C-alpha cells in the first residue's frame, strides 16, 4: 500500500508577500502532486474531498493517519498553520515543510528544515521546476524512511515524555471510512484464524486497508499466526511491524516469544534483556522471561515433546523420551535441571508480585514452585499457602470478568489440579473445555501442560483426570490436517484458436499429461498429500486430473467467482467447451468446494492484480504447512506471460522462498 500524503496549503490565486498573485493550484498540480507521486505517495488535498459529512472530522482523521503531511508556508494562512499545529500535536514525525518566496521566516519554525521553491509569473518557475520536483521527492522519501525514534514535531521534541495517542482508539470510534475498512479486514482475519487458514492471514496482512494502521494490522496477523503455531510466519509479520515502529513494545514481546517457540533461546533471552532495559519491572516482560525459561527448562530434560500416548508409557515404566539422557527417568532428568527451573520461577514470581491480576504469571509461579518441591523434597509450606490464596483470587476475578475466557478457566482448572482433590479438578476441567468452544489449539496447549505434569508423575490421579477430560474434548474437535507434501502447481493454459504464436498447443496436451503423471509418481504423490491449484484449461486441469488419479486431495483456489473464472480461464481456449466439462468432472470429485478469492479475502485492493494476488494466496497457503513440505510443479515455456500474475511470477516467487521446483518445459514436449 502506498504512503498517504495530506497537503495543507492555500487554494486558488492568492497575493504573495510582495503582492504578486500566486496560483497555488498550479503549485499543487505542477510541483507538489508530481513530486510526491514520484516519491511513491497517494496524494490528498482537503479541497478535493467530496464526501458528505463534517469536513473537520475528515481533516482531523487525515492529519492523524497520513504517513506524510506537507505544509506550504509561503503565506501566513491561518488554516495551514492550524493544520500543521494539529499534526505536530498528534504525531511526532512525518512532516515536510515547503515555501515559495517570502521576505521573512516564521519564528516558530525558523530553524526547521524547509524546501524553498521558485515562482515565476505566479506559477512554479519552469526553469527550476524539474530540480524543485526532484528535491521535494527526495525530501519526502527521506522523511518517510526516517527512523521511528527520531522526533520532528517541536511539541514532542520539547515535551520529551509526551507520547503519541493510540491511533486505533482515536480512529475507530464511531462510523467512518477507517473504522468500516478496518472492521471488515479484522473480521476476515478472525474467520481465517478460526478456519485455520494461515495462508489467508498472510495475504490479508499485506493488504492493510489503511497504511497508517499497518502496524496494528501486522500485530493482529502475528497474533493470529501465533495462535495457529505458525511461528516462522508470525515472526515475519512481527519484523514487518517493527520495520514500521522499531520501539513497538507489543511486537518486541511477541518477537521474543516466537524466538523461544522456535527454540532460539539465546536470541529470545537477548530480546528480553533489551526489553527489560527499555521497560524496567514491567509485569508482562517478567512473564515473558518466565515463559522463555520454562520452555528452555522443559526442553532440556524432556527433549522433543511426544504427541501420542508414548510419553505416558515412558513415564509409567521409567523410560526416557527422545532427547533425554539415556537410562535416566524423566523425573530424575527434570530434577537434574533444578537450576533451570529456578530461573523460570523467579520472573513469574516478580510478575505476579508486581501485578496480582496477572493470573497467568501467578498460576505458573505456583505450578513451578510445587513441581520444584515435588522434584527436590524441599518446600516452604507457608509461602505456597499464601501464593495459592493470591492465585485463587486472581483466577476467580478473571473468570468473573469473562465467563467464556478459556485462558482464565484453564488457569483455574490448573489451580484445582495443583491444590484440590480429583473431584474439584474434574469439575473445573469440564467447565474449562466447554469454554474452549472446540478450539483445537487452545485445548492442545492445555494438554501439553498436563503432559509435562504427567511425565513428572505429579499428582497422578488428578493429572490423569484432567488429561482424560481434555483428550476427550480434543477427540471431538477436528484436528488440523497436516499433509505429508503440499503439491503446488502453476502452468500455461492451452492456446486459444486466435493465438498468434503457439505456446501450449492442443496437440501437446497428451505429452504434458504424461510428463506431469511421471513427475507426481517420482515424488510419491498419494492420499497423504495435498494439491493446491487454480483450474484453468490446460496445465491446471491436467495436474488436478493426475492428482485425483493418485488419490491426492485437491483444493481449487480461484481468483474470481466460478462463473467469471470459467469465462476467463476455461472457455477462451481451443475446445473450450470440452475443457469446461473436464473442469466440472474434476470439481465433482472434490471433497471441498473451490475457494473463491473475493469471497475468502474480500474485494481486490486498489491497483492490485487478481492473478498475482491469487498466486500469493496459493503460495502462502502452501508455505504455511511448512516450507520443507512444498513441492512446486510447473508447465512453462520459460518466458513471460501474457500479463501480470502468470506462471513466471509464481515460479520466481517459489524460487525465492523454497527453490523446490519441478519444471516441465513446454518446448521439450
| CA–CA separation, 598 and 564 (whole Å) | 12
Residue 118 phi, psi (nearest 5):
-95, 145
| Final residue belonging to a domain, choices 280, 308, 324 | 280
Which CATH number do you get for residue 71? Answer: 3.40.50.360
| Final residue belonging to a domain, choices 248, 280, 312 | 280
Least confident among 61-75, 96-110, 132-146, 612-626: 96-110
Are 591 and 607 part of one and the same domain? Answer: yes
Residues 6+ apart with CB under 8 A from 220: 186, 189
Identify which of 223, 194, 227 has the alpha carbon closest to the alpha carbon of residue 438: 194
Residue 116 · residue 136 · CB < 8 Å: no
Residue 57 · residue 176 · CB < 8 Å: yes
Using 50, 70 and 90 to split pLDDT, how confident is the model at 322?
very low
The answer on pLDDT for 402 being more than 80 is yes
SS3 for 550? Answer: coil
Tell me whether residue 289 is in a domain.
no
Are 317 and 402 part of one and the same domain? Answer: yes
| CA–CA separation, 38 and 45 (whole Å) | 17
Which CATH number do you get for residue 594? Answer: 3.40.50.450
The answer on pLDDT for 470 being more than 80 is yes
Q: What is the pLDDT of residues 629-642, one digit of tens each?
A: 899 999 998 876 55
Q: What is the pLDDT of residues 494-531, one digit of tens each?
A: 999 888 888 999 999 999 999 999 999 999 999 999 99
Domain count, the chain: 4
The answer on pLDDT for 12 being more than 50 is yes
| Residue indicated by cell numbers 516450507 | 627
Would you give the distance in Å from CA 313 to the centre of its chain?
39
What average pLDDT does the chain have? 86
Tell me whether residue 300 is in a domain.
yes
Are 144 and 79 part of one and the same domain? Answer: yes
Domain residues for 430?
294-480
**Long-range contact set of residues 404-412: C-beta below 8 Å, sequence gap at least 24:** 404/435, 404/437, 405/435, 406/432, 406/435, 406/436, 406/437, 406/439, 406/442, 407/360, 407/442, 408/359, 409/435, 410/436, 410/442, 410/446, 411/359, 411/360, 411/362, 411/363
Tell me whether residue 237 is in a domain.
yes
Predicted local confidence at residue 320, as pLDDT: 38
Predicted local confidence at residue 380, as pLDDT: 85
| Final residue belonging to a domain, choices 132, 158, 184 | 158
Tell me whether residue 177 is in a domain.
yes
Tell me whether residue 442 is in a domain.
yes
Tell me whether residue 288 is in a domain.
no
Are 245 and 275 part of one and the same domain? Answer: yes
Tell me whether residue 357 is in a domain.
yes
Predicted local confidence at residue 3, as pLDDT: 81
Are 636 and 653 part of one and the same domain? Answer: yes
**Long-range contact set of residues 401-410: C-beta below 8 Å, sequence gap at least 24:** 403/435, 404/435, 404/437, 405/435, 406/432, 406/435, 406/436, 406/437, 406/439, 406/442, 407/360, 407/442, 408/359, 409/435, 410/436, 410/442, 410/446
User: Judging by DSSP bridges, how do beta strands 21-23 and 13-15 pair with one another?
Assistant: antiparallel
SS3 for 104? Answer: coil
Are 34 and 83 part of one and the same domain? Answer: yes
Q: What is the pLDDT of residues 152-194, one digit of tens each?
A: 788 888 887 787 776 655 654 556 566 677 778 888 888 887 7
For helices 214-227 and 249-261, what crossing angle results, to 10°? 30
Tell me whether residue 286 is in a domain.
no
Are 65 and 171 part of one and the same domain? Answer: no
Predicted local confidence at residue 639, as pLDDT: 77
The answer on pLDDT for 52 being more than 60 is no
Residue 230 · residue 624 · CB < 8 Å: yes
pTM here?
0.73
Tell me the CA distances in angstroms from 445 to 108, 410, 452, 466, one per residue in order. Answer: 57, 10, 11, 13
DSSP annotation string for 477-525: SPPPP--S-EEEEEEPBPPPTT-SS-SS-GGGHHHHHHHHHHHHHHTT-
Using 50, 70 and 90 to split pLDDT, how confident is the model at 324?
very low
Predicted local confidence at residue 310, as pLDDT: 36
Predicted local confidence at residue 451, as pLDDT: 94
Percent of the chain with pLDDT over 70: 88
Are 417 and 299 part of one and the same domain? Answer: yes
Identify which of 604, 560, 573, 597 has the alpha carbon closest to the alpha carbon of residue 491: 573
Are 543 and 429 part of one and the same domain? Answer: no
Which CATH number do you get for residue 222? Answer: 1.25.40.10
Q: What is the pLDDT of residues 76-131, one digit of tens each?
A: 899 999 999 999 998 888 899 999 988 777 655 544 678 899 999 999 999 999 99
Using 50, 70 and 90 to split pLDDT, how confident is the model at 332?
very high
Are 329 and 427 part of one and the same domain? Answer: yes
Are 123 and 99 part of one and the same domain? Answer: yes
SS3 for 560? Answer: coil
Residue 28 · residue 18 · CB < 8 Å: no
| CA–CA separation, 296 and 265 (whole Å) | 7
Are 215 and 265 part of one and the same domain? Answer: yes
Amino acid at each position: 500500500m502506498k504512503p498517504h500524503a495530506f497537503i495543507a496549503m492555500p487554494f486558488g490565486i492568492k497575493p504573495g508577500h510582495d503582492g504578486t498573485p500566486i496560483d497555488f493550484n498550479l503549485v499543487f498540480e505542477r510541483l507538489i502532486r508530481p513530486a510526491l507521486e514520484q516519491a511513491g505517495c497517494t496524494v490528498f488535498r482537503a479541497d478535493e474531498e467530496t464526501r458528505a459529512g463534517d469536513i473537520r472530522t475528515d481533516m482531523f482523521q487525515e492529519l492523524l493517519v497520513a504517513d506524510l503531511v506537507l505544509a506550504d508556508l509561503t503565506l501566513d494562512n491561518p488554516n495551514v498553520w492550524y493544520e500543521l499545529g494539529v499534526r505536530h500535536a498528534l504525531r511526532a514525525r512525518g512532516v515536510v515543510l515547503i515555501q515559495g518566496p517570502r521576505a521573512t521566516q516564521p519564528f516558530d519554525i525558523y530553524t526547521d528544515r524547509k524546501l524553498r521553491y521558485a515562482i515565476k509569473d505566479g506559477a512554479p518557475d519552469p526553469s527550476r521546476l524539474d530540480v524543485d520536483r526532484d528535491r521535494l521527492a527526495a525530501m519526502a522519501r527521506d522523511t518517510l524512511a526516517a527512523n521511528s525514534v527520531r522526533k520532528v514535531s517541536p511539541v514532542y521534541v520539547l515535551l520529551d515524555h509526551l507520547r503519541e495517542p493510540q491511533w486505533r482508539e482515536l480512529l475507530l470510534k464511531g462510523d467512518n471510512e477507517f473504522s468500516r475498512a478496518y472492521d471488515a479486514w479484522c473480521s476476515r482475519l478472525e474467520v481465517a484464524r478460526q478456519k485455520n487458514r494461515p495462508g489467508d492471514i498472510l495475504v490479508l496482512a499485506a493488504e492493510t486497508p489503511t497504511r497508517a494502521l499497518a502496524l496494528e494490522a501486522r500485530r493482529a496477523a502475528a497474533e493470529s499466526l501465533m495462535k495457529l503455531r505458525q511461528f516462522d510466519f508470525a515472526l515475519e509479520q512481527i519484523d514487518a511491524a517493527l520495520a514500521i515502529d522499531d520501539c513497538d513494545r507489543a511486537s518486541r514481546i511477541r518477537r521474543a516469544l516466537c524466538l523461544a517457540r522456535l527454540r532460539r533461546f539465546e536470541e529470545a533471552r537477548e530480546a528480553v534483556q533489551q526489553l527489560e532495559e527499555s521497560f524496567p519491572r514491567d509485569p508482562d516482560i517478567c512473564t515473558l522471561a518466565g515463559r522463555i525459561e520454562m520452555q528452555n527448562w522443559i526442553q532440556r530434560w524432556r527433549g522433543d515433546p511426544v504427541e501420542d500416548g508414548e510419553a505416558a508409557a515412558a513415564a509409567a515404566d521409567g523410560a526416557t523420551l527422545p532427547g533425554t539422557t539415556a537410562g535416566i527417568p524423566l523425573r530424575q532428568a527434570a530434577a537434574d535441571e533444578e537450576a533451570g527451573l529456578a530461573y523460570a520461577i523467579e520472573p513469574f514470581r516478580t510478575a505476579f508480585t508486581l501485578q496480582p491480576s496477572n493470573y497467568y504469571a501467578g498460576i505458573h509461579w505456583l505450578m513451578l514452585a510445587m513441581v520444584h518441591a515435588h522434584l527436590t523434597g524441599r518446600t516452604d509450606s507457608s509461602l505456597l499457602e499464601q501464593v495459592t490464596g493470591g492465585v485463587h483470587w486472581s483466577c476467580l476475578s478473571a473468570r468473573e470478568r469473562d465467563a467464556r475466557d478459556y485462558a482464565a478457566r484453564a488457569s483455574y482448572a490448573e489451580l484445582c489440579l495443583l491444590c484440590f482433590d480429583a473431584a474439584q479438578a474434574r469439575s473445573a476441567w469440564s467447565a474449562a473445555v466447554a469454554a474452549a468452544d472446540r478450539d483445537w489449539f487452545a485445548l492442545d496447549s492445555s494438554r501439553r501442560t498436563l503432559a509435562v505434569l504427567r511425565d513428572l508423575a505429579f499428582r497422578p490421579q488428578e493429572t490423569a483426570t484432567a488429561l482424560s477430560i481434555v483428550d476427550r474434548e480434543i477427540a471431538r474437535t477436528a484436528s488440523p490436517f497436516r499433509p505429508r507434501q503440499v503439491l503446488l502447481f502453476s502452468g500455461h493454459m492451452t492456446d486459444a484458436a486466435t493465438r498468434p504464436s503457439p505456446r501450449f498447443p492442443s496437440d501437446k496436451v497428451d505429452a504434458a499429461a504424461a510428463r506431469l503423471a511421471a513427475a507426481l509418481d517420482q515424488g510419491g504423490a498419494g492420499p497423504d498429500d495435498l494439491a493446491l491449484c487454480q483450474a484453468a484449461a490446460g496445465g491446471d486441469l491436467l495436474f488436478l486430473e493426475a492428482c485425483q488419479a493418485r488419490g491426492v486431495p485437491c483444493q481449487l483456489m480461484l481468483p474470481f467467482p466460478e462463473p467469471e473464472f470459467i469465462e476467463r480461464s476455461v472457455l477462451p481456449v481451443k475446445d473450450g467447451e470440452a475443457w469446461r466439462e473436464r473442469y466440472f468432472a474434476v470439481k465433482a470429485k472434490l471433497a471441498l468446494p473451490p475457494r473463491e478469492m473475493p469471497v475468502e479475502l474480500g474485494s481486490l485492493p486498489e491497483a492490485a492484480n487478481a492473478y498475482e494476488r491469487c498466486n500469493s494466496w496459493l503460495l502462502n497457503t502452501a508455505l504455511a504447512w511448512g516450507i520443507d513440505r512444498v513441492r512446486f510443479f510447473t508447465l512453462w515455456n520459460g518466458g513471460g506471460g501474457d500479463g501480470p500474475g502468470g506462471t513466471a511470477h509464481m515460479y520466481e516467487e517459489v524460487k525465492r522462498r523454497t527453490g523446490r521446483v519441478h519444471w516441465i518445459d513446454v518446448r521439450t514436449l
